[in-house]
Structure 1
Amino acid sequence: MAAPATGAAPDLPALDLTGDLTDLLVALVDIESVSGDEGRVTDAIEAALRPLAHLELERDGDVLFARTQLGRAERVVLAGHTDTVPIAGNVPAVVTGEGDERVVHGRGACDMKGGVAVQLAVAAALTAPSRDLTFIFYDHEEVEAELNGLNRIARERPELLEATFAVLGEPSNARVEGGCQGTMRAEVTFTGVAAHSARSWMGRNAVHAAGPLLERLSGHTSAEVEVEGLVYREGLNAVRISGGIAGNVIPDRCVVEVNYRFAPDKDAAAAEAYVREVLHGFDVTITDVAVGARPGLDRPVAADFVAAVGGEAWPKFGWTDVARFSSLGIPAVNFGPGNPSKAHADDEFCPTADLHTCRDALLRWLG
């Protein structure tokens, strides 16, 4: 078991990187690390990696890098975030089942301390990998983009992210998910005339005015777009509606928030053009956009990875930090333990079998 680094807090949990993967994940889950409070888990990870002579460590805030420097022809990034969404009575971890059927329940078990546990086990096991490796453990993924540790490094110190290929340990049911969708948010505003609800004919109801927009969205059929052999299913939906000030007042303003999930063949301009085309005639304001990431599975290193871990890839439905690598010209995939549908759920969990599948696949590929 790795000992805490010199000067570390005496109660810093020790992480055993070469022992049972389930125990390692339990130890990580038990270190609370809600976004903004990642310091202690980063300390524990740093203390566990520090004794490994084949790794060069560097810390920037609560972003930790561990690198091999073997002069290999290629460098691969294995990245994962250490923060979680707020706890909901699901820490400490609970383990159910026996043997390979064990399941770890608890906040972050799926999103994404399972992936972090795999990273750590691989970092300890591969003292002479076939490709140079950069392990990245970063903070603030579950909150706004400007706080994201990986985003900050990409902006301030992009040389630390240089690589031929990147693997993000986000939950993917232990299978390869290439690239990711883009996401755009827009607001459609309707105005009316306020009046007492007892004399509604004297006003004009802005909430009622949103009806035609909702009908258009309800009747819209989103596209299925093939990108580099993967089929991404798009979506255009109303996700929030607000309007009205009191139970006896006809509302004079209503705002409908619309979310567009788009295939990674589109840039921000193309996505905006599509939204405006579908919603022609309405007052549309684009409020936020994050472009997706192309799979990059046509690159030799990516094809080698897919072959090593099972020979098949699926599209990623949703946006992940693979897009940050893609924006730097680095192809990236999602490959991690756990079912993404359980991310952020109160009954979040990760199967032990997924941990072993991901670790063993990475060891085959990189060994």
Structure 2
Amino acid sequence: MNLEEFLPPALDLLAIRSTADRPADLHRALDLVLDLVGPGFTVERFDSGGKPSALLHAGERRPFRVLLNAHLDVVPGADAQFTPRREGDRLYARGAQDMKLSALVLARVFRELGRDLPIALQLVTDEEVGGYHGTGHQLDRGVTADFVVIGEHSALRVVHESRGMVTARLHATGLAAHSAYPWLGDNALLKVTRAVDAVVRRYPVPAEEAWRTTVNVARIGTANEALNQVPADAEAWLDVRFPAGDTDFDGRSPEQVAAHLAAVSGVEVEVARVEPPHRADPANPDVVALQEAARAQGFSGELLRKHGAADSRFYYGRGIDAVIFGVGGDGQHGPDEHADLTTVVPYHRALTGFLSRL
């Protein structure tokens, strides 16, 4: 693959403001990539929650040997970020690193190999807002595979594990009273503070990066507005991140997690979401082969763990090994997001080498 020939369609894709609130641009981004792949493939289109997606393959749908997954949506950015600019080996734009360049490489590799190999290309447009209407929706409709490569940025390293997420609220009820007579009341803020302390003692904040369950206390508040009143209600917001294998959270329903946190905290708990973690077996021959393909291009191919969530969690929940493997760059979701152009051609070669071994 020639980088200079690859860049013009990449610039066109990066210029599309494909954020969740712009459905027409989500369709434009999807259609651009479908046009790049070209004719000769079966294209299954999906639409869920106003978010379009597509599955491309040769012939009838079946359990694919390898599924290539890419999302074409981006988070909001400044106007200037949708006018891509190149500075040496860096390409600056919203979505350059996360993950439009990787998506185009996956599309190109599929175009070159998809007619001869049992692979498929999955294009979605809602990863940045949860993935339920893209990857999640397609899997609910029976799409499956033996192994999945997700083109999120990794600088040709192999992300085999990421943490799950719980969003919860602790609720405490007390008794209002005049603040001059606190013994006549029951301070709900003190209750919820003690509850938060109990949760943080169970899951302490690490002093440095650690692969274990962590809790972020995002907010503590009350409806009380009077300085001279004992608060009768209070709540705290918690963001819990947990690795695969943590039996307090992994594989648990929202009701089970709420009961667990209530037992720890001693107050009422409401759990809004439980998102599963993701883990692929490092000994899986496909994981090993992908590492070898990266090393053949002069990269380490080392295994990585990511603390954030990705669409890989949908596959983990169905017993399918999925890894994240993409181009390099920096500044994800920030004002200086950029892709490292020196990784684009090696990424194409590594994917081609990996898939050719099938």
Deviating 4+ runs (over 6 angstroms): 70-74
Select which of 166, 176, 183 maps to 2:165. 183
Select which of 273, 276, 284 maps to 2:261. 276
**How does 1:108-127 map onto structure 2 within 5 Å?**
108-126=95-113
Tell me the residue number matched to 1:286. 271
Tell me the residue number matched to 1:33. 18
Q: CA deviation at 1:128?
A: 5.7
Select which of 223, 229, 236 maps to 1:256. 236
Select which of 189, 192, 209 maps to 1:207. 189
Q: CA deviation at 1:77?
A: 0.5
**How does 1:1-367 map onto structure 2 within 5 Å?**
20-36=5-21, 37=23, 38-51=26-39, 53=40, 55-61=41-47, 62-69=52-59, 75-98=65-88, 101=89, 103-126=90-113, 131-144=117-130, 146=132, 148-155=133-140, 157-158=141-142, 161-194=143-176, 201=182, 204-220=186-202, 232-246=211-225, 248=227, 250=229, 251-266=231-246, 267-269=250-252, 272=257, 276=261, 279-310=264-295, 311-338=301-328, 342-367=331-356
Q: CA deviation at 1:333?
A: 0.4
Q: CA deviation at 1:135?
A: 0.6
Summarize the Cα distance change of 1:300–1:291 in structure 2 as closer, same or farther, 3 Å threshold: same
Query: Under a length normalisation based on structure 2, what TM-score does the superposition of the two structures give?
Result: 0.80
8 Å contact kept, 2:188–2:232: yes
Tell me the residue number matched to 1:13. none
What letter matches 1:257 in structure 2? W
8 Å contact kept, 1:222–1:233: no
Per-residue deviation, residues 219-258 of structure 1 (Å, max 9, x unmatched): 555599xxxxxx8333122123332353646432221111
8 Å contact kept, 2:2–2:345: no
What letter matches 1:116 in structure 2? A
Q: Kindly report the root-mean-square deviation, in angstroms, between the aligned alpha carbons of the 2 structures.
A: 3.4
Q: Distance in 1 between matches of 2:318 and 2:290?
A: 20
8 Å contact kept, 1:223–1:233: no
8 Å contact kept, 1:240–1:256: yes
Q: Distance in 2 between matches of 1:247 and 1:345?
A: 39
Residues 65-74 or 26-35, more deviating: 65-74
Summarize the Cα distance change of 1:112–1:190 in structure 2 as closer, same or farther, 3 Å threshold: same
Q: Distance in 2 between matches of 1:17 and 1:123?
A: 16
8 Å contact kept, 2:195–2:265: no
Q: Distance in 2 between matches of 1:235 and 1:72?
A: 39
Q: CA deviation at 1:127?
A: 5.8
8 Å contact kept, 1:196–1:248: no
Per-residue deviation, residues 44-90 of structure 1 (Å, max 9, x unmatched): 22222234x3x332222321222135999962111011112223334
Summarize the Cα distance change of 1:290–1:127 in structure 2 as closer, same or farther, 3 Å threshold: closer
Residues 106-115 or 199-208, more deviating: 199-208
- Report % sequence identity: 25
- In the alignment of these two chains, the number of paired residues is 334
Name the SS for the 1:121 alignment partner: helix
What letter matches 2:30 in structure 1? T
What letter matches 1:107 in structure 2? R
Summarize the Cα distance change of 1:274–1:314 in structure 2 as closer, same or farther, 3 Å threshold: farther
